[in-house]
Amino acid sequence: MLVGMGATMLCKWCRRSFGCILIIAVSLCSSGCWDRKELEERHFVLAVAIDRADQGVGPGEGQDTSGVESFVQPYGSKRYRLSFQIMDLVPTQSSMSSSPGSQGPHGKMRTYVISSTGESLFEILRDMLGQVSQGLWFEHVQTIVISEAVVRQGGLQPIIDFFRRDKEMRWLTKILITSGQARSLLEYQPPSGEASGIFMSKILQNYGKNPHIAGWHTDMVDTAKAFDNNSRVLVSRVELLDDVIKVGGMALFIGGEFIGYVDEYATQGGKFLSGIEKSAIITVECPEHPGKMIAFELFHQDTQLKPHVDKEKIYYTLDITMTGNLGEMQCGQLHDTMDTDEIHKLEDLVAVEVKHNVLYAFHTYQRLQVDADNFSGKLKAYEPLVWEKVKDHWDDKTFPAISLDVSVKVVIENIGEHK
Amino acid sequence: MVVKKEFLACSMLLFLCMLTAGCWDRRELQERNFVLAVAIDMADAGCQPGVKAGQVPGVNRTETFFQPHGAKRYRLSLQLLKLQADGESKDNTKTYVISNTGESMLEMIRDMLGQSSKSLWFEHLQVIIISEAVLKQTGLSEVLDFFIRDSEIRSRVKLYVTSGQARPFLEYTPPSKEIGGMYLADISRLHTRNIHVAGARTDLGFTSQYLDNNADPVLPRIELADKIVKLGGIAVFKKDQFVGYADEYAVAGMKMIAGTEKSAIVTIPCPDDPEHQVVFELYRHDTRLQPHVDGDNIYFTLDINMYGNIGELQEDNKAQNTMDPQYLRKLEVAFADEIKRTVFYAQQVLQKQMRVDGVGTFARKMRAYEPDVWEKVKDQWDETYARIPLIVSVNVYIENVGSHQ
């Protein structure tokens, strides 16, 4: 009897303590803190710049060329200089005092730049951990800036591969190209107090309003896709001069080869061709009053690019209907904008200008032999049989020879707040 | 059935919540770049269409773009608000300036999005400063068209003209550390107390009205020298063409003719002791400008009644008794003479020399009082106006002598 009671009590005690231990164990697991890493213990990389290293160093040669920003490298040469813009999350005493380049801790973002040289980007990156106190985090990389010298030297493929392959990199990271030094863009301090990596990527988001910014098909996912399809890669161009940063125009690549830059006008024309512009300002000079500009502000467009095959000949038709507003008329006092005939005249003028712009872009791309606006995709979709025949020589033979028939209709719906 | 209805009602409520919350298109303040001030200058060097950006001497290639039409004629600068608080920043500025070159304002503004991480908002634009060099080349309506046409820009934006460069005004930090654009606009709001500033009827809305009605706008003049900003005097326009500047004295006269002054300080030498000055402070006035037609002759009468105070009397106040009505009468007459002189000076400068009917004051009266005659003369108003005589009568009433005799 006694023994029996003892056994039940023990069992009860046993079960209780087991339950308690279980609860403790579960709470240990579920609190999720066992592998925590505080924000300030991470080094967020905001932007990456890839330059050509100043001097090539052969394999096995020492660190004499660039001092500490290098390492002994068994293979390859000192070909690239990789720079990171890192967000400084810990306000320190030195940053409180206002030395140039550093920012106060209130609101403004403080960043600094580290760099190293080598050939494999992954190797350079891991070697750079010898320069920082915390691990580098790439999940928030906003921008990758490439200098023109690098792509002229080795193309896009070797420098872009790592960013495509590593799982920490995001697909929507923006890629930019500059004709000067890429690192200086990371060191640049925008007047608004943002970090330049974020600043630049946000500029690209203005592409809807500013047709001079390529902005479309220029981030990592599009670049990777275009690479795999062996088609063109478009990279927005950024320039820094005397404390002024500016994005406009773009660089064209085919198969990783740098082809050249196109200006803002061709960029805008290219957007008209693809029908991806959200808004645009189209300026014409008033025929009656030379020197006075008229600006049409595009609100809405309907663009159709269609391939046609006439026996051996391939030609495209482009139908653009644009509706918008009269945005500026510098000779507005001298015209009666309430008169529909005047407005029709303006519509015709703008239509001619759009046509001119589209053809300017089209001929630029034909001359560079770059199908920047995906004419091939249209052919593949509408005329798959013809595409099979021409696809091997599309860029160098077929595309430069096709003709484009442009028809533009412009409707001015409104004349602004004031006649 | 009941359950079904309840379910329907609930889901409708939820659906309405989504719509009425109004957050679907929200845009936080810090995601906007507020433009506070605009400066329009000449671009340093003219450039022909088709010239690649960067090949233009004097134009920074990051501050321009490839332009199919027009020349690199203007430099447009925008003052933007830094919304991020920076207590410890080294220069303590709350704004920064970006600029671009081109010809169409709208095209330049859109291209400037390549320099700015956020889109530009013009709803809080305070002031537009135009440099004289621009106005010597082109008309006012040409540079202002975009600002008048665009729906984002308010009519009460202040317009100033400067004889030098306009951009430095945007870079100027007021000693009070106010936001530059607000500071510049607020100066002209003191026009009611400062008779030297032509602040009434000179903003964007009024100017666009004058341009439309073929009247002659005037704009306040602003100058910057050695970190001091000063508003005073006006730039005078014939239709939309810049004619020249008129000084503060002419502005005072012009305001008295139009009756737009709220307060004024009239200074004269003391009648008995010209070494010292006596000052009249205007409290209220009754001004009547009226056209009269006598056969083919048109003439205007201006009746001014001014009531005010003795604001300052530098004369030895033992020598004169300000409690003596005789002395006050003497002063009233002297002040009236001075006001007459001011009015005639303004008339001389604006009507005779520049032949400008500033802000259309006379034309407006003519149209209101004598519509039939106006119909006849309105086409040659410019020539008619220059010959119209003005008959002025001024009465000054000194109601008080201040808190001390």
Q: Which of residues 233-252 of A touch B (CB under 8 A)?
A: 239-242, 244-249
Distance from CA of B163 to the nearest CA of A (A): 22
- Burial of residue A134 (CB within 10 Å: 0-12, 13-18, 19+) is middle
DSSP one-letter code for B203: B
Closest-CA distance of chain A to residue B82, Å:
6
Looking at CA atoms only, how far is residue B84 from chain A in angstroms? 6
* Cβ contacts of B400 within 8 Å, gap of 6 or more: B308, B309, B310
B151–A416 C-beta distance less than 8 A: yes
Give start and end residues of each alpha helix (H) in A112-230.
Answer: 121-127, 148-154, 157-165, 183-187, 196-204, 220-228
Q: Does B63 lie at the interface with A, CB-CB under 8 angstroms?
A: yes
The CATH 3.30.300.210 domain(s) of chain A lie at 267-414
Q: In this predicted structure, what is the pLDDT of residue A358? A: 95
C-alpha B79/C-alpha B37 separation (Å) is 5
Task: Look at A108 and B143 and tell me if their CB atoms are within 8 Å.
Answer: no
Q: Which of A209, A295, A326 is the closest to B119 by Cβ?
A: A209
- The answer to whether domain A267-414 has CATH 3.30.9.10 is no
Which residues of chain B does A218 touch, with a Cβ-Cβ cutoff of 8 Å?
none
Size (chain B), residues = 405
Closest of B23, B32, B240 to residue B152, by C-alpha: B32
Strands B127-131 and B33-42: parallel
Residue B234 tokens read as 């006006």
Are B61 and A241 inside 8 Å of each other by CB?
yes
Model pLDDT for residues A386-408, shown as the tens digit of each residue: 999 898 888 888 899 999 999 99
Q: B338: closest CA among B259, B404, B282, B275?
A: B282
The tens-digit pLDDT sequence of chain A (419 residues) is 455 555 566 688 888 899 999 988 888 777 767 777 788 788 899 999 999 886 444 444 444 445 677 788 888 888 889 999 998 876 554 444 444 444 444 456 788 999 888 889 999 999 898 888 888 899 899 999 999 999 988 888 888 889 888 888 888 899 999 998 999 999 998 888 888 999 999 999 888 889 899 876 788 888 888 888 888 899 999 999 888 899 989 999 988 889 999 999 999 999 999 888 889 999 999 988 888 899 999 999 999 999 999 888 899 999 999 999 999 999 888 888 888 999 999 999 999 999 999 999 999 999 999 988 889 889 999 999 999 989 888 888 889 999 999 999 999 998 888 87
- Cβ distance B111 to A210 less than 8 Å, yes or no, reads yes
The CA angle A67-A70-A73, to the nearest 5 degrees, is: 130
DSSP per-residue string spanning A142-166 = -EEEEEHHHHHHH-SHHHHHHHHH-
| Strands B241-246 and B228-238, sheet pairing | antiparallel
Is residue A353 within a helix (H) or strand (E), and if so which, with residue range? helix A340-368
Query: Contacts of residue B151 in chain A, CB cutoff 8 Å?
Result: 416-417
Contact A353 B52 (CB under 8 A): no
Is residue A211 within 8 angstroms of chain B, CB to CB?
A: yes
Long-range contacts of A217-223 (CB under 8 A, 24+ apart): A218/A174, A218/A175, A218/A250, A219/A171, A219/A172, A219/A173, A219/A174, A219/A175, A220/A144, A220/A163, A220/A164, A220/A169, A220/A170, A220/A171, A220/A172, A220/A173, A220/A174, A220/A175, A221/A171, A221/A172, A223/A156, A223/A160, A223/A175
CA atoms within 13 A on the CB side of B333: 6
Q: Out of B88, B104, B113, name the one closest to residue A293 (CB).
A: B104
- Which single residue is written with the structure tokens 């088609």? A231
Please state, in angstroms and rounded to a whole number, the distance separating the CA atoms of residues A419 and B145. Answer: 10
The answer to whether the beta carbons of residues A323 and A413 sit under 8 Å apart is: yes
Angle, vertex CA A387, rays to CA A386 and CA A391, nearest 5: 130
- Over the stretch A10-39, which tens digit does the pLDDT of each residue have? 688 888 899 999 988 888 777 767 777 788
pLDDT at residue A66, rounded to an integer: 54
* A26: alpha, beta or left? (left if phi > 0; alpha if psi -120 to 50): alpha
Per residue in A149-191, pLDDT (tens digit) is 999 888 888 888 898 888 888 888 999 999 989 999 999 988 8
Runs of H (alpha helix) within B235-320 = 248-258
**Residues in B touching A209 (Cβ below 8 Å):** 110, 113, 119
The pLDDT of residue B23 is 73
- Count contacts between A and B (CB, < 8 Å): 189
Residue closest to B180 by CA, chosen among B69, B35, B370, B365? B35
**Nearest by CB: A297 against B106, B141, B208:** B106
Instruction: Please report the pLDDT score of residue B52 as a whole number.
Output: 45
Q: Answer yes or no: do B104 and A281 touch at CB < 8 A.
A: yes
Q: CA B70 to CA A290: how far, in whole Å?
A: 9
The nearest alpha carbon in chain B to A264 belongs to: B66
The set of residues, in sequence order, having a beta carbon less than 8 Å from that of B1 and lying 6+ positions away, is none
Q: What pLDDT tens digit does each residue of chain B (405 aa) get?
A: 678 888 999 998 888 887 777 777 778 888 888 999 999 999 864 444 444 444 555 566 777 888 888 888 899 999 999 876 554 455 667 899 999 998 999 999 999 999 998 889 999 999 999 999 999 988 899 999 999 999 899 999 999 999 999 999 999 999 888 899 999 999 998 888 899 998 888 999 999 999 988 889 999 999 998 889 999 999 999 988 999 999 999 999 999 999 988 899 999 998 888 888 999 999 999 999 999 999 889 999 999 999 999 999 888 767 778 888 898 999 999 999 999 999 999 999 999 999 999 888 899 999 999 999 999 998 888 888 999 999 999 999 999 888 887
What is the pTM assigned to this prediction? 0.85
CA angle A257, A220, A383 (to 5 degrees): 70
B209 burial level (CB within 10 Å; 0-12, 13-18, 19+): middle
Using CB atoms, which residue from B65, B87, B148 is nearest to A248? B65
**Which chain A residues are closer than 8 Å to B53 by Cβ?**
263-264
Provide CB contacts within 8 A for A404, sequence distance 6+.
A315, A316, A317, A318, A358, A359, A362
Contact yes or no for A328 and B143 at CB 8 A: no
Q: How many CA atoms lie within 13 A of A110 on its CB side?
A: 23
Structure tokens at B238: 């014939």
The pLDDT mean for chain A works out to 85
Give the integer Cα–Cα distance in Å for B358 and B250. 11
User: What is the residue type of A53?
Assistant: A
* CB A283, CB A352: distance < 8 Å: no
Q: Compute the nearest-CA separation of B2 from chain A (Å).
A: 43
pLDDT, position B140: 92
Q: Largest alpha-carbon pair distance within chain B?
A: 102
Q: Which residues of B touch A212 (CB under 8 A)?
A: 65, 110-111, 114
Contacts of residue B98 in chain A, CB cutoff 8 Å? 191, 244
Contacts (Cβ under 8 Å, ≥6 apart) of B63: A244, A246, B75, B99, B100, B101, B115
Does the predicted interface ipTM exceed a cut of 0.85?
no
| B212: chain A residues, CB-CB within 8 Å | 333, 419
All domains of chain B in start order, with CATH: 30-246 (no CATH), 251-400 (3.30.300.210)
CA B276 vs. chain centroid, Å, equals 34
Residue B218 identity: V
> B146 to chain A: which residues are within 8 Å by CB?
295, 327-328
Chain B contacts of A103, Cβ < 8 Å?
86, 89
